[in-house]
């Protein structure tokens, strides 16, 4: 497969965008899947677990004891609430960090829109409001 990167306009790309293009290009050239490049990756014998949340749950299920357990072992409301919070953390990242923080980092001050920023703050407030209601 031939990939020509010379036609990509790189003037408005961030360093992160350029890194993604580069890694994608290398994956195409070497026929490597993006999935094998996930970080963090945890290996336990023949088991390979990607993503930090999955790694934490794997370690909790396989290596915790009564002395260091983070979650109740029996199915119960408390265990369900903990798992729900772990899964909801992705919404916090995408609705707060990605929306507000990345906008500030990636947008030149002269290109920032007060209306856009206020809209992103409102979305973040809604998401954070859900966290205030968690038991």
Q: How far is CA 27 from CA 33, 51, 99, 105, in A?
A: 6, 19, 28, 28
Q: What is the model's pLDDT at position 36?
A: 55
pTM above 0.75, yes or no: no
Read off the pLDDT of each residue in 50-59 and give the average, rounded to a whole number. Answer: 84
Where residue 9 falls among pLDDT bands split at 50, 70, 90?
low
> Do 74 and 102 touch, CB atoms closer than 8 A?
no
């Amino acid at each position: 497969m031939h990939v020509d990167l010379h036609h990509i306009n790189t003037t408005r790309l961030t360093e992160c965008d350029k890194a993604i293009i580069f890694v994608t290009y290398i994956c195409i050239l070497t026929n490597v899947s993006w999935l094998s490049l996930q970080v963090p990756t945890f290996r336990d014998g023949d088991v390979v677990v990607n993503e930090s949340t999955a790694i934490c749950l794997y370690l909790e299920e396989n290596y915790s004891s009564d002395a260091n357990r983070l979650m109740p072992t029996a199915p119960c409301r408390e265990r369900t609430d903990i798992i729900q919070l772990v899964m909801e953390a992705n919404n916090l990242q995408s609705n707060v960090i990605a929306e507000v923080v990345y906008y500030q980092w990636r947008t030149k001050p002269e290109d920032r829109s007060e209306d856009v920023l206020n809209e992103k703050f409102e979305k973040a407030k809604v998401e954070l409001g859900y966290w205030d209601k968690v038991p």
